[in-house]
Amino acid sequence: MSDIKITRRGILKGGTIAGAGLAMPTIFTSSAWAGGHSGFTNAPTGNTVTLGFNVPQSGPYADEGADELRAYQLAVEHLNGEGDGGMLNTFSSKALDGTGILGKKVEYVTGDTQTKSDAARASARSMIEKDGAIMITGGSSSGVAVAVQALCQEAGVIFMAGLTHSNDTTGKDKKANGFRHFFNSYMTGAALAPVLANAYGNDRKAYHLTADYNWGYTTEEAVKNSTEALGWETVAAVRTPLTQTDFSSYIAPVLQSGADVLVLNHYGGNMVNSLTNAVQFGLREKMVNDKNFEIVVPLYSRLMAKGAGANVKGIFGSTNWHWSLAQGFTDASGKKVAPDAASAAFVKSFGEKYGFPPSQAAHTCYVQTILYADACTRAKSFKPSAVGEALEGFRFDGLGNGPTLYRAEDHQCFKDVLVVRGKENPTSEYDLLEVVEITPVDQVIYDASIFGGELGGFNNGA
Amino acid sequence: MLGLSKSDIRIFLLVVVLTIFAPFILNPFPEASGLAQFNAGYPDLMQRFVIFGIFAIGFNILFGLTGYLSFGHAAFLGVGSYAAIWMMKLLTMNVIPGIIMSVLIAGIFAVAVGYISLKRTGIYFSILTLAFAQMSFALAYSVLTPITGGETGLQPKISDPRMLDAALASGEAPRANLFGLEMGTSYELALSGWVFTFNVGYYVAAIVMIIALYIAIRIFRSPFGVMLRAVKSNQQRMRYTGLNPKPYTLAAFVISGMYAGLAGGLMVAMDTQVGPERMFWTASGEVVLMTILGGTGTIVGPILGAGLIKYMENILSKINADILYEWFAMLPDSIADILVFVIYPFIGKGWHLTLGIIFMCVVIFLPGGLVEGGQRIGNMFGRKKKTEGEKSSQPAE
Amino acid sequence: MDAILLQILNGLDKGSAYALIALGLTLIFGTLGVVNFAHGALFMVGAFCAVTFQRILNISFQTIDPTKKDFLGNPLKVDTTYIESWLGPNLGSGILDWAVPISILFAIPVMILIGYVMERGLIKHFYRRPHADQILVTFGLAIVLQEIIKFFYGANPIPTPAPEMFAGSFDFGAAVGLAEDTIIYPYWRLVYFLFSMGIIAAVFSFLQFTTFGMVVRAGMADRETVGLLGINIDRRFTIMFAIAAVVAGLAGLMYTPINAPNYHMGMDFLVLSFVVVVVGGMGSLSGAVLAGFLLGILESFASMKEVIAILPGINQIIIYLVAIIILLTRPRGLMGRKGVMED
Amino acid sequence: MSILEIKNVSKRFGGLKALDDVNISVKENTVHAIIGPNGAGKSTLLNVLVGKLIPDEGSVEFDGNSLIGRKPHEINQMGVSRVFQTPEIFGDMTVYENILIPLFAKRDGAFRLHCIEHVEDEKDIVEKAKKMLQDVNMYEKLGMRAASLSRGDKRRLEMAMCLSQEPRLLLLDEPTAGMARADTNNTIDLLREIRETRDITLAIIEHDMHVVFSLAEHVTVMARGTPLVDDKPENIKGHPKVQEAYLGGHKEG
């Protein structure tokens, strides 16, 4: 009965206190996951800090989740000073020194989101409640990102979104504790439209097929608005069910509508199937209005493009990042773009560890982890409000996308957007897309207030 | 006692004791040990155990007693959740109105779905319920987005009206509470290497589950329960005995729909968010599996089944290769590699595989579900007592 | 008018996939009385027979091409398949191109084996068990099959294109004298349609015109009596299960060029195929086929933008809505027999 | 005083006339047998009486109330019980529960949401059930699963279930079908005892002449959907029309 201690998981996990004897219960009335004396949820008190990597490990996005997980493991290695350091060497902020975060070794726990918001929240809660995770990151869809972000806000931990492209994540559903590095639908529209107009002309008639849920709506709207501003006409926009696998009945009427461009606002399995179906119908060999019929896929993912195989050849889309930046490329106007050193560092350390190049999901997850660690170090604290303030308005470079701003108003990163096209002559199964244009950030930036929503204040959980 | 027979009261008290001491029972391993991975005594999972327990108990009232296999029960869970979150958004973050409304709305929805679906029996009934649930899911995901929030679902927002609540202090977020006692509040007890968490939300949900279980036992043992089993046994004889099976099955359907709604409401109370995939057919299938896995028509079976599936989903899926290597750290590398190679496909992202194998093993070796397994173990130790009064319902002398 | 014709064509094609899956499911339902939740998994396994065959054909050796670079900047390793190097680029790549149709030869024995093992090893013991137990065990099996495939092939879809010859589409409109490009249809989908017609016809004539088929049909109607006649109905049912597995497998295999296969494609089809079977009526083969086409066509109509404009969301629910309406107006589906799976 | 009046009842199935202008009157507290060869329409008639079939024309009155258009459970609630050819009992429930159900149905009607009270707290029902089981010598089997009973016991159980509702009219569909002689005699004794100890009318559809002549106070002979003869058993035996009906059709019994 000597030694009365109030304790958190972190202490015991860290192993600093062997046995605390019989302890008195303590009542934390004010909030959910309060951490008592430390002033915020899951304050790390031992010599380690635990991050929660919450990615889809089962379900259709499992491969994407697996790639995210590889990137996280790589990031943890680099933070702990193992491996070649990757993009830490190119990162403009030099706060991180390879000794973990604030001198604490980085440990991590993993969970399966199943790409369902309930499962994702359950998994995130277990990381927070059971494993004492101080930050949650990952995910491969906007539904999950919004759900987990709201949870982290409530629990008082930082959420660093993984792959989520809907405007809502940092728009109407934004939360102070949530941060997104990935780009969004609006930026896709703004970046893609000029390239499309350039390649296909200004008097095109577009037919949209849109996945019937929030992300689809925002993407359709963004592409529609930006292309119409350049003179395109939208003939029709048809909503397709999420569970649809065969899109033939949606694609067959396209030719009759007089449209000469088909925009597929689909992602993942939907995208693979609708694109495959569209190509099967021979749409791309047709001439409509004396123009070659074209197909556009606003959001590309290399992993998914692989599923569509040869069907992606020549098809435009946008992406957050692509490994070929590491080698440099020639853009649409014939201008040579030099290799990006940061991307090269990342591709090298990822490729040497795993044997293939990283996906954009892997990239954004890696970057988010590094950014979080850097913010903690600069803030000299793990406290969410301090970390958040360090991220807000933070300008950085050397993480693969060029100069980037973490905007304070909505916690959205602003950086150049890549417009890519399916490669005609791929040299390997990873070499499916080629970058045709880097749309400068000025063209894709927007006013933070246009999507509504309320950031609220930081929640530290105590 | 409590109007229950001796064997029932034993089971009931056992469940009550297990529920009260769950924070201890589910955390058997010291925090710092490698086996702590298997601890399940944290608030979220404990809450899920009891909530899905309620869902399965309710489902069992329909399926276990009347034999009608509904493949759309998740719809009621979802509808209950939406009702609860709207009460929280519009009225108050106090969970009581939300829970009451979730039961009511789910009940009304169940009357409508049940009235139509019960016009058919057997697999035709199953497909009708499935069709209703899938329509609810598809519409909630897409065209009903203004009401349901679509893919991203609904969460309480700072800007919600909450007409009964006082305005929030700035920087405060709306939190679910019971007359000011927040669901997320936890008490912690550290005993040498162990940490036990006592969570308000869990105990609220646990009390609701105990009440729900008590009502279910009463229903099982009531004349109404006998009639429901008669529906399963022989509808022809029932009709010629002057009984109308329709209202009985409809009543059972609505009661079990209300249980599902209650579970949905509690889910929102514990974790303030709703997404439409809660109504997807796999969610309906899950409660069917929970019930069969535990033991159809038994009192505690569905709770056990729910517990096992949720345990697998939340614990097994979190074990990754690094953790395995940590466990086998004391072994030589080559042996550790082999062990990890053998075990790895069954854990982490392979947790579904283990689940599938367990389904098959249980149904092959324990036709009566986990409850039968429990009985066999009980018999092995020479206990003549019937753990489950169900199959040998004797009049109390 | 063109639009409607087009959607009928679409519906027939979609329906042929539904009908084929439902046919296999009904064979198992009708002959064995087993609710087989693993049927979708059989469809998926069939599709992965094509993938596996393609992989086998694509076994290759690597040569280094110093003129090109891989993603790390090292000299690029180029894969050349043994087939191409043995048989020459023409014949070799021709065989690779035709991988999907050729894999039928590979898939049939595999599916027969899987069907046989499944029935003898597992399903057999569940004939007299409640439907609930059958659901649990077959669902468990479906998960296991799925996870095994995922373990080896990952979760992403795998492209399995049709032979070059069938790429592109056929202009029906021009063929029947309408304006060009009004009604176009991909060649491979026509192949799929004809293929399923062939399979359906084969199954029906097998049951109709062979003595084996007659015994099985009699067994579907009254198992015990046929058993009393001293006919070994069990062995025949095993064969029927294998046939159903082959039908499901081939349906999946031929479907791969239409949609790239992934490990959960079976689950995506499972619910739908149950709806088709039940709408057709339990135990009725022709009902299953009819319902498959009916639902395919109605689904196609519901996806027209003119229809969605009037009834938003109708394309999301059409199948289920039709199922409800049919089951309420016709108690046992379109052609169901009394007393089958009604308790 | 007749308890059951069947007047001008006809029923067609497609082209087949199963019942053709049937008129039968069953007197209260008697045993009335309806006999006839296969296809005479006996079962159709029975199904009309219990509400399973609705006749095309004609009327059926029980105790002055029409039965036409009523559902089986409503007709049962009026006091008509039915024993099936193969016993219809609640197979996967206990013998005891099998007896409880009709008792509850009698007291609570066709539906009652009686879901909180424990069965055992219904003292009077429990008592009646046990007494009934004692009456039919099945008390020691009360915990057994009904499906595991012998055929004879199933029959007795079904009879007990019907009788526990104290029906005014008990319809029996070939109660001795497929029974050995000894069992048949036991059944005859049981039925006789029932008739003698209670205020009840029995209507029996039967093939077995031995049963008919040992029990019936009144016999209707049917053939091809119509009653041929309606008389006391002793007058039936040598009746030419009956001989003709049986010889012309199948010789049975």
* Type of residue numbered C17: A
Q: What pLDDT sits at residue B136?
A: 96
For residues C106 and C53, the answer to whether their CB atoms sit within 8 Å is: yes
Q: Could you say which DSSP state residue C336 is in?
A: P
Over residues B249-274, the pLDDT tens digits come to 999 999 999 999 999 999 999 999 99
Q: What pLDDT sits at residue B392?
A: 40
Over residues C34-55, the pLDDT tens digits come to 889 999 999 999 999 999 999 9
For the domain made up of D2-79+167-248, give the CATH fold.
Rossmann fold (3.40.50)
Q: Would you list the domain boundaries of chain A?
A: 48-183+342-416, 186-319
Judged by CB atoms closer than 8 Å, whether chains meet at D165 and B242 is answered as yes
Over residues D205-242, the pLDDT tens digits come to 987 888 888 889 999 988 888 888 888 888 887 777 77
Q: How far apart are CA C115 and CA C128, in angstroms?
A: 19
What's the token pair of residue C301?
Answer: 């109509």
Q: What pLDDT sits at residue A11?
A: 36
Q: What pLDDT sits at residue A451?
A: 92
pLDDT at C270 over 70: yes
Higher-confidence position of B37 and A373 = A373
With b meaning 16 or more CB within 10 Å and e meaning fewer, what string describes B231-254? bbbbbebbbbbbbbbbebbbbbbb
pLDDT at B374 over 80: yes
Q: Read off the pLDDT of each residue in C167-177 and give the average, rounded to a whole number.
A: 79
Q: What pLDDT sits at residue B388?
A: 42
With b meaning 16 or more CB within 10 Å and e meaning fewer, what string describes D112-122? bebbeebbeeb
For residues B290 and B48, the answer to whether their CB atoms sit within 8 Å is: no
pLDDT at B105 over 90: yes
B182 to chain A, minimum CA–CA distance in Å? 7
Q: What is the full per-residue pLDDT of chain A (462 aa) written as tens digits?
A: 233 233 334 333 333 333 333 333 433 333 344 444 467 888 888 899 999 999 999 888 899 999 999 999 999 999 999 999 999 999 999 999 999 999 999 999 999 999 899 999 999 999 999 999 999 999 989 999 999 999 999 889 999 999 999 999 999 999 999 999 999 999 999 999 999 999 999 999 999 999 999 999 999 999 999 999 999 999 999 999 988 889 999 998 898 888 999 999 999 889 999 999 999 888 888 888 889 999 999 999 888 888 888 899 999 999 999 999 998 888 877 888 899 999 999 999 999 999 999 999 999 999 999 999 999 999 999 999 999 999 999 999 999 999 999 999 999 999 999 999 999 988 888 889 999 999 999 999 999 999 988 888 899 886
Over residues D82-123, the pLDDT tens digits come to 999 889 999 999 999 999 999 999 999 999 998 888 888 899
Q: What is the CA radius of gyration of chain D?
A: 19
The CATH number that applies at residue B265 is 1.10.3470
Q: How far apart are CA C90 and CA B307, in angstroms?
A: 59
Q: What pLDDT sits at residue B391?
A: 41
B23 to chain D, minimum CA–CA distance in Å? 31
Q: Return the closest-CA partner of residue A344 out of A363, A330, A361.
A: A363
Over residues B286-305, the pLDDT tens digits come to 999 999 999 999 999 999 99
Could you tell me if B342 lies within 8 Å of chain C, comparing CB atoms? no
Quickly state the pLDDT bin for D252 (edges 50, 70, 90): very low
Q: What pLDDT sits at residue B47?
A: 96
Rounded (5°) CA angle A448-A449-A455: 80
Over residues C183-232, the pLDDT tens digits come to 888 899 999 999 999 999 999 999 888 888 887 777 766 666 666 666 67
Starting at the edge strand that comes first in sequence, how are the strands of the sheet with A158-161 ordered? A105-112, A48-55, A135-138, A158-161, A178-179
B365 to chain D, minimum CA–CA distance in Å? 22
**Residue keyed to tokens 């990239």:** A363
Q: What pLDDT sits at residue A462?
A: 64
pTM equals 0.92
Over residues D125-142, the pLDDT tens digits come to 999 999 999 988 899 998
CB atoms within 10 A of CB B397: 4
pLDDT at C76 over 90: no
DSSP 3-state percent helix, strand, coil across chain D (nearest 5): 40, 25, 35
- B333 within domain boundaries: no
Q: How far apart are CA B348 and CA B86, in angstroms?
A: 35
- In percent, the amount of chain B with pLDDT more than 70 equals 95
Report B:9-68 residues touching A (Cβ under 8 A).
30-32, 39, 42-45, 48
Report D:83-102 residues touching B (Cβ under 8 A).
88-94, 96-97, 100-102
Round the average pLDDT of chain D to a whole number and report it. Answer: 88
Nearest to B195 among A12, A142, A243 (CB): A12
Find the range with the poorest average confidence among A1-10, B54-63, C249-258: A1-10
- B169 within domain boundaries: yes
Query: For chain B, how many structural domains are there in total?
Result: 1
Judged by CB atoms closer than 8 Å, whether chains meet at B143 and C132 is answered as no
Which residues of chain D neighbour B241 with C-beta distances below 8 Å?
73, 76, 81, 101-102, 105, 161, 165
Which residues of chain A neighbour C308 with C-beta distances below 8 Å?
238-239
Over residues D140-168, the pLDDT tens digits come to 998 999 999 988 889 889 999 999 999 99
Judged by CB atoms closer than 8 Å, whether chains meet at B394 and D143 is answered as yes
For the domain made up of A186-319, give the CATH fold.
Rossmann fold (3.40.50)
What's the token pair of residue D129?
Answer: 């059930």
Q: Which residues, 6 or more positions from B369, have their beta carbon under 8 angstroms from its beta carbon? A: B292, B293, B294, B295, B296, B298, B301, B304, B305, B362
Higher-confidence position of B393 and A454 = A454
Nearest to A454 among B143, B159, B193 (CB): B159
Could you tell me if B347 lies within 8 Å of chain C, comparing CB atoms? no
Query: Where does chain D hold its CATH 3.40.50.300 domain(s)?
Result: 2-79+167-248
B352 to chain C, minimum CA–CA distance in Å? 7
In this complex, which chains have at least 3 CB pairs below 8 Å with chain C? Answer: A, B
B120 to chain C, minimum CA–CA distance in Å? 7
- B295 within domain boundaries: no
For residues A161 and A412, the answer to whether their CB atoms sit within 8 Å is: no
Domains and CATH numbers, chain C: 2-55+100-329 (1.10.3470)
Q: What pLDDT sits at residue A359?
A: 94
* ipTM score of complex: 0.91
Same fold flag, A48-183+342-416 and A186-319? yes
Judged by 3 or more CB pairs under 8 A, whether C touches D is: no
**Residue keyed to tokens 């019930």:** B291
Q: What pLDDT sits at residue C1?
A: 67
Quickly state the pLDDT bin for D72 (edges 50, 70, 90): very high
The architecture that CATH gives domain A48-183+342-416 is 3-Layer(aba) Sandwich (3.40)
Structural domain including B137 reads: 6-280
Which residues of chain D neighbour B4 with C-beta distances below 8 Å?
118
DSSP B334-385: HHHHHHHHHHGGGSGGGHHHHHHHHHHHHHHH-TT-HHHHHHHHHHHTT--S
For residues A376 and A453, the answer to whether their CB atoms sit within 8 Å is: no
Could you tell me if B68 lies within 8 Å of chain D, comparing CB atoms? no
What's the token pair of residue B304?
Answer: 């056990």
- B383 within domain boundaries: no
